[in-house]
Structure 1
Amino acid sequence: MQSNTLVKLTCAALLAVLLGSVFVVAKGIIVPIFFAAIMAYVIAHTANRLSKVPGLRWCPVWSLRLMTLVIFAIILVVFFGVIVSTGQELLARLPDYQANVETLVQETFSLLGRSGPVDWGQIYEATFGQLDVRAAVLSLLSSLTSAGGTLFLILIYAFFLLSERGRFVGKIYAAATTEAQAQKILAVVAEINNQIANYLGTKTSINLILGVMSYVILLVLGVDFALFWAILIALLNYIPYVGSMLGVALPVALSIAQFGSLQTTALVLASLLAAQLWVGNYLEPRLIGKQLNMSPLIILLSLSVFSALWGLAGAILAVPLTSIIAITLGAFDETRFVAVLLAETVEDS
């Protein structure tokens, strides 16, 4: 018995290593497909919500999904337009930002009791070294532009995934050896669809609320590129724990260069943190609660693993993919113990 268990664990470990290698090598193929599946979940969830609106109840489900897909495409086009315009304007304002930082450093040294001119060149070399900010911004814009083609591919994948949903059940029955096996597979898929669609749909709504709140805060406080930062904050909030901190840090860092005032930067930081805390500690627990039932430690570990495999894309996909793995493992007696270890709470049976 013990030897069989050891063999199973060894095979599972080897399979995990093999899959990890495949995920790294085939990153360019696998990641767009996963993102397309996530987008298909969100689109299907949104279409189901729209079907309950009084004026849209008569519309076929496929038309609502197509309409939602078109809206997503328009949003992506607008988003990339905002990115390009923000990058161009940021490059134009870099000299002003540098001058503001120099003034702030001079004032800080004065408060510390040091008088006389500050050797900015020496400070720059000691802190930033040979970092070329302009080249870094241009490289980032180039990466984002190439990502536009990937997003277009994701939209195409999502369209075909949505069009295949109606024929999926028939394919499962045709592929399964017995009707019981087909029903078990469909039950697992239904649970995955239900949990992931509800989670992603609710999480997307929460992120939109956070994005709007952040936009209003940044606009009122006069922070440059308020729309861009608000969109980025909403997207980064898909990443558990780390995303919210990063979403606050970036616009706060820009505010230092823009205003050259620690008081104004502190106000920006406090306002954005207040929005994040309200969403994270009040709104999100009320709307999402324990939908996915995953241990916080497991979430952090999955975040580390998928980030190492796929970078930022892996960080965004970490929670949905880990949830899918947990649901699948929990459906079979041989692997149910792994799903139990991944869960935060376990119901007595």
Structure 2
Amino acid sequence: MPKTQLSPSLKTALMLASVVIILAGIKTASPVIVPFILSVFIAIICNPALNWLTTRRVPKGVAIGLIISFVVLAGMWLANLVGKAVNDFSSQLPAYQAQLTERFGGLSNQLAEYNFPVELNQLTEYFDPGAAMNVVTMIVGGFGGVMANLFLILLTVIFMLTEASSFPKKLHVALDDADMRMAQIDQFLLSVNQYLAIKTMVSMATGTIIGLVLWAIGLDYWVLWGVLAFLLNYIPNIGSIIAAVPAVLLAVIQLGIGWAGGVVALYLVVNVVMGNAVEPRFLGKGLGLSTLVVFLSLIFWGWLLGTVGMLLSVPLTMILKIGLESNNSTRWLALLLGGEEQSAS
């Protein structure tokens, strides 16, 4: 019986229909998928520490116990500090809004003297600390909702770390490569591990530097702004702007416009140095994404997986790009996702 050949247009339609069905399934199952994705990211980030401990003859079970204990204690400490800061900031919000109105009243009068009249209500609407705090609450609350499944996430991480050493071999066998001849698989796994580990370390350094400098100048809730800078550093360009807005607004209210300008400079310097000097040195120049892809991935993963999808949008897109680069037939797609430096090389 002769095989029926599908036309190219029908193949394309079937492929698009399959993608829509898969995405609909992922969105429907996001309450289960999001904790699993977080577990994968935590396990990948913790894997270098596990390898470091096991190479120093620490038993694997003890090493996993130490890592999980550190993650739990650090997470509880951080959640306590951030939660307290969010609650305190919310309680102080009316006082901050009154101070902001007072400061902008003088600014409005000065602008009127130079024949540039601006209504006070317009200024307070554009620079509303309550609106900025809503963004912070949404981000922290999104993670808090997922962390309600903390026990499930930690249990999944433990099992993943236990089988981390055997996973590459299983992947080779699953893809009919029992003789370990497909170097693309190993390169893909290595690149994903390196990217997530380095990106996390750079993000931690970014959050730590910003938090300590804000503490040094006396800005309130510096721990909250440092954590926000750490989380949003996973989103290049856009994330640093979102992270800076509430800290700058609070600096205007608490310290004055001059210090607020210094806070803006702090965020600019730290993100430029980390994004243009530190990250390319460790990750390589060809691993970046175009600004358009970053923005579209933020919208897409946010729609698909919620707040956690927004924060992990760039790492998820980077994993997709690394996977496309590992295959010659899909490398052109990875090139479309890349930045200007990669397309020029």
TM-score scaled to structure 2, two decimals? 0.80
CA distance in 2, matches of 1:280, 1:173: 35
1:117 is matched with: none
Report how far residue 228 of structure 1 moved.
1.4
- The DSSP-based 3-state class of the residue aligned with 1:112 is helix
In the other structure, the counterpart of 1:123 is 121
Bigger mean CA offset, 100-109 vs 331-340: 331-340
Q: Superposed, which structure 2 residues align to 1:1-349 within 5 Å?
A: 5-50=8-53, 57-113=56-112, 123=121, 127=125, 145-168=144-167, 171-172=170-171, 178=176, 180=177, 183=180, 187-259=183-255, 261-290=256-285, 292=287, 294-329=289-324, 335=330, 337-343=332-338, 345=342
SS for the counterpart of 1:165 is coil
Other structure's SS at 2:163 match: helix
Mark the CA change 1:48 to 1:258 in structure 2 (over 3 Å): closer, same or farther.
same
User: How far 1:329 moved relative to its partner?
Assistant: 4.3
Instruction: Name the aligned partner's letter for residue 308 of structure 1.
Output: W
Tell whether the 8 Å contact from 1:237 to 1:244 is kept in structure 2 after alignment. Answer: yes
- Kept after mapping to 2: 8 A contact 1:215/1:226: yes
Q: Distance in 1 between matches of 2:79 and 2:294?
A: 30
CA deviation after TM superposition for structure 1 residue 76, in Å: 1.1
Q: Is the 8 A contact 1:43 1:65 kept in 2?
A: no
Rounded to whole Å, the distance in 2 between the matches of 1:164 and 1:293 is 30
CA offsets 1:71-113 (integer angstroms, 9 cap, x no match) = 1221111111012211232133223212211210221122134
Report the Cα distance in structure 2 between the residues aligned to 1:347 and 1:49, rounded to whole angstroms. Answer: 38
CA distance in structure 1 between the partners assigned to 2:325 and 2:7 by the alignment? 20
- CA separation of 1:142/1:338 partners in 2, compared to 1, >3 Å: closer, same or farther? closer
Distance in 1 between the 2:154 and 2:279 partners? Answer: 28
Over 3 Å counting, the alpha-carbon distance change for 1:48 and 1:291 in structure 2 is farther
Paired with 1:166 and 1:311, the residues of 2 have a C-alpha distance of: 31
Shift of 1:206: 1.0
**Structure 1, residues 206-245: CA drift from partner, whole Å, max 9, x if none?**
1121122112210121110011111110111011221111
Amino acid across the alignment from 1:76: G
CA gap of 1:269–1:136, structure 2 versus 1, over 3 A, is closer
Rounded to whole Å, the distance in 2 between the matches of 1:112 and 1:326 is 49
| Long gaps (5+) in structure 2 | 114-118
Distance 2:329 2:272 in 1: 41
Q: TM-score, normalised by structure 1?
A: 0.79
Distance 1:316 1:144 in 2: 10
CA contact (8 A) 2:233 2:240 kept: yes
In the alignment, residue 18 of structure 1 is paired with which amino acid?
Answer: I
Identity of aligned residues (%): 25
Once the 2 structures are TM-superposed, how far is the Cα of residue 31 of structure 1 from its aligned partner? 1.3
Change in Cα spacing, 1:329 to 1:4, as seen in structure 2 (3 Å) is farther
Tell me the CA shift for residue 65 of structure 1.
Answer: 3.7
Give structure 1 stretches of 5+ with no counterpart. 115-119
Displacement after TM superposition at 1:137 (Å): 9.4
In structure 1, give the amino acid aligned to 2:251: S
User: Cα distance 1:279–1:293, how it changes in 2: closer, same or farther (>3 A)?
Assistant: closer
| Contact residue 208 and residue 226 of structure 2 kept, 8 A | yes
Cα RMSD (Å)? 3.7
CA contact (8 A) 2:207 2:227 kept: yes
Given residue 44 of structure 2, which amino acid in structure 1 is its aligned partner? Y
Contact 2:34 2:146 in 1 (8 A): no
Alignment partners' CA distance in 2, 1:218 and 1:138: 17
Distance in 1 between residues matched to 2:253 and 2:97, nearest whole Å: 7
Any idea what the Cα deviations from partners look like across 1:118-155, whole Å, max 9, x if unmatched? xx9x8389838xx987x969975766643431344322
Following the alignment from structure 1 to structure 2, what is the Cα–Cα distance between the partners of residues 331 and 112?
Answer: 58
1:4-59 alpha-carbon deviations (Å, 9 max, x no partner): 5544433332222222212211111111111111111100023334556xxxx121
Mark the CA change 1:199 to 1:112 in structure 2 (over 3 Å): closer, same or farther: same
Give the counterpart letter for 2:275 in structure 1: G
